[in-house]
Structure 1
Amino acid sequence: MKAVSALLLGVALTGCVARGPRRDPPATATASVPGGWRTPVANGVAIAGDWWTAFGDPVLTALVERALANNVDIAIAASRIEEARAAEALARAQLSPQVGGSLPETQGQTLSPFGTPSRAIGAQPGITASFDLDLFGRLRLASRAARAQLLATAAARDTIRLATAATTASGYVTLRALDQRLAIARATLAARSDALRIARRRFETGYSSRLEYRQAQAEYAATAQLVPAAELAIARQENALSLLTGDPPRAIARGRALDRLAIPAIPDGLPADLLRRRPDLYQAEQTLVAADLTLDSQRAAFLPNLALTGTAGVVLSTALSDPVALFSLGASVLAPLFDGGRLRAQENAATARRDQAAFAYRRTALVAFREVDDALAGVQRTGKQAEDLAQQAAAASGALQNATNRYRAGYSAYIEQLDAQRNLLTAQLSLVQAQTDRLTSYVALYQAMGGGWTRPVPTG
Structure 2
Amino acid sequence: MKFPPVAMLAGVCLTTACAPTLTKPPAASAVMVPEQWRTTLPSQTREDAVWWNGFGDPLLSRLVDAARAHNPNVAIAALRIEEARAQERVSRSALLPNVDLSVSGAESRSVSPFGTAAANFAAQPAFQAAWELDLFGRNRAQVDAAKANVAALEAARVGTELSVTAATASGYITLLALDNRLAILNATLATRGEALRIARDRAEAGYTSQLELRQAEAEYRAAEQQIPAIQANIARQENALSQLTGEAPRGIERSASFAKLQRPGVPAVLPSELVRRRPDIVQAEYALAASDARMRNARAQFLPQIRLTASAGAAVSSALDDPIGIWSIGGSLLAPLFNGGRLQGQFDAATAQRDQAAFAYRGTVLGAFREVEDQLAVILRLDEQERALAAQRIAVADALKHATNRYRAGYSPYLEQVDAQRSLLSVDLALLQLRSDRLTAHVALYQALGGTP
- TM-score, normalised to structure 2's length? 0.88
Shift of 1:48: 6.8
Amino acid aligned to 1:355:
D
Pair 1:291–1:158, CA change in 2 (3 A): same
Is 2:99–2:127's contact at 8 Å kept on the other side of the alignment?
A: yes
> Whole-Å Cα distance in 2 between the matches of residues 386 and 221 of structure 1?
30
Q: Distance in 2 between matches of 1:291 and 1:128?
A: 35
**1:6 CA displacement:** 12
How far apart, CA to CA, are the structure 1 residues paired with 2:275 and 2:262?
24
Contact 2:33/2:272 (8 A) holds in 1:
no
Q: Equivalences for 1:208-287 in 2 at 5 Å?
A: 208-266=208-266, 270-287=270-287
Equivalent position of 2:408 in the other structure: 408
Equivalent residue number for residue 354 of structure 1: 354
Report Cα offsets for 1:129-155 as digits up to 9, x if no partner.
011111111101110110001111111
Aligned counterpart, 2:424 = 424
The CA deviation at 1:436 is 0.9
Deviations 1:404-456, CA, capped at 9 Å, x for gaps: 2232233332222212111110110000110011011111100000005xxx4
| Aligned mates of 1:112, 1:129 — CA distance in 2 | 39
| CA distance in 2: counterparts of 1:317 and 1:144, whole angstroms | 49
- Asked if residue 128 in structure 1 is aligned to residue 133 in structure 2, the reply is no
Matching residue's letter, 2:241: L
Partner in structure 2 of residue 11 of structure 1: 32
**Which residues in structure 2 correspond to 1:84-123 (within 5 Å)?**
84-108=84-108, 118-123=118-123
- Shift in Å at residue 320 of structure 1? 0.9
1:91 CA drift (Å):
0.3
**TM-aligned CA deviation for residue 12 of structure 1:** 6.0
> Match for 2:219: what amino acid?
E
Mapped partners of 1:410, 1:112: distance in 2: 135
Asked if 2 retains the 8 angstrom alpha-carbon contact of 1:12 and 1:362, the reply is no
Going from structure 1 to structure 2, the CA distance change for 1:88 and 1:267 (only over 3 Å counts) comes to closer
Helix, strand or coil for the counterpart of 2:329? Answer: strand
* Matched residue, 1:36: none
Partners of 1:366 and 1:48 in 2: how far apart? 25
State the Cα RMSD in Å.
Answer: 2.5
> Amino acid of the residue matched to residue 31 of structure 2?
G
Amino acid in the other structure paired with 2:156: A
Once residues 384 and 8 of structure 1 are traced to their aligned partners in structure 2, the CA distance between those partners, rounded to angstroms, is 38
Taking structure 1 as reference, are residues 236 and 427 closer, same or farther at Cα in structure 2, changes over 3 Å only?
same
Is the Cα–Cα contact under 8 Å of residues 171 and 237 in structure 1 kept in the other structure? yes
Q: Alpha carbons of 1:6 and 1:86: their partners in 2 closer, same or farther (altered >3 Å)?
A: farther
- TM-score, normalised to structure 1, is 0.86
- Label 1:4 to 1:430 Cα distance change in 2 as closer, same or farther (>3 A): same
Corresponding residue for 2:70?
Answer: 70
Letter in 2 for 1:395: A
Percent identity between matched residues is: 53
1:124 Cα deviation after fit: 1.1
CA-to-partner distance for each residue in 1:182-221, whole Å, 9 max, x for gaps?
Answer: 0000000000000111111111111112211111111111
In the other structure, the counterpart of 2:41 is none
Match of 2:304 in 1: 304
**How far 1:267 sits from its partner (Å)?**
5.2
Alignment partners' CA distance in 2, 1:5 and 1:179: 53
How far, CA to CA, are the matches of 1:299 and 1:269 in structure 2? Answer: 41
Unaligned 5+ runs, structure 1: 18-46
Cα shift at 1:403: 2.2
Q: How does 1:295-444 map to 2 (within 5 A)?
A: 295-444=295-444
How far apart are residue 111 of structure 1 and its match?
A: 9.5
Are 2:275 and 2:282, in contact at CA under 8 Å, matched by a contact in 1? no
Take 1:330 and 1:48, find their aligned partners in 2: how far apart are those partners?
62
Find the aligned partners of 1:259 and 1:444 in 2 and give their Cα distance: 20
Tell me how far apart the structure 1 counterparts of residues 117 and 158 of structure 2 sit (CA, whole Å). Answer: 75
Quote the offset at 1:114 in angstroms: 9.3
Q: Distance in 1 between matches of 2:360 and 2:98?
A: 39
Quick check: 1:13–1:365 contact (8 Å CA) kept in 2?
no
Structure 2 unpaired stretches of 5+: 1-21, 39-46
